[in-house]
Structure 1
């Protein structure tokens, strides 16, 4: 098991990354669990919100790099349904970050042809947060480049339960029978209905768990974990993750 985990966290030299990145095999959908902001701040003797502020800057770099590489979808785990348990001051600050990011970066996202998308339960978000994210979705809806998919107030178990309730309602109304239910119908009722499943899942900060993130969708994703804290993550790390991904054989249960 430890040997397998070491492969998930394997590193390549800068030369290997430069020499071996195959532009024809870029993962089409990359999902990232952005973890380690609080620890980054603590290590520097700063308040936790300083880590979140620094982490927001990294989003800019990663979006730009993913777009340059030709990634089609970038899903970022911005705020989970469990994050409400954090101190109110921290939650209040986190709720301001989407607004700040999108207000500052929307012109550039438009210029780069990036389409902003959301998944999660946005009704519980503060009005100022909801207004900012919906504005970004609306103004970028006709863009045809990278899809920047923010998982905001998102939890995979909530998503699955919500999909099951939708399907149950369809059965109740007589538009669907239990015999017709299959994986495709379940996926059409999930928050990622219009997206392909992630090819590559990245988690920063050294934690090796999914934390209720896209549990259905990552069934056959390749995982890459790094000890790097999110505020220290950069374009080189993203490129390394892709280089490791390209060394793996995706068999989907076959041989």
Structure 2
């Protein structure tokens, strides 16, 4: 393909294409596996995308002004990654169920208020980024996404998680910062592979008891809540290396924290602590 023809193709699509699309230009659009239309000032998904429904594996539509995802998009059944952050979406269509091979979905920084119940049909989904959306609750079908390993729901309107949230037993990273959570469901004790849990900026007055059952946890954020005490049961987290409980109302840190044998970073600033456990200084000085 000549440079002149390639330039015409870019103009046809309404914006400069990323170099990730050069493969598509050489092969012909019908055989494209990766398309990147990020930062192209688009207000709709380009029609050319739908001619690749059999071959398309990754589609990037980041930072445009797209208001809805057309039904034709969900006929791209080979699609493994769909990235549409920082757009103007107000909903995620039920037709998302058609993307049965989807492994990564990024819908962050939109205006989406809820997940459709049949999100459960995206059985292969492993990574879901939905932060900065006004999502107030998760449907029961959400807990059927049994292959999720990473879930990001920061800066939403969540007040509670589904009671059977613990079904997501493959989760390794769970970020729920800046929500309205007051506690966690007991079923989360089943999250035996969870390594990072971010609960900063919520409304917890007590550390949820279920946290002490998360035996693989390495990083824990509880900053910006209303905690008055850091209970000794935190010492059951033998793998924990990072703990942030700053910006709370902590008056006490119980001695049991010294059970965190791998702890190397402990953030306690902006609390109302009068003293620390006597053995805490000795504990860290011997690290």
TM-score surpassing 0.5?
no
Higher relative contact order (CA 8 A, sep 6+): 1
More helix, by proportion: 1
Larger Rg: 2
- TM-score, with normalisation over the residues of structure 2? 0.27
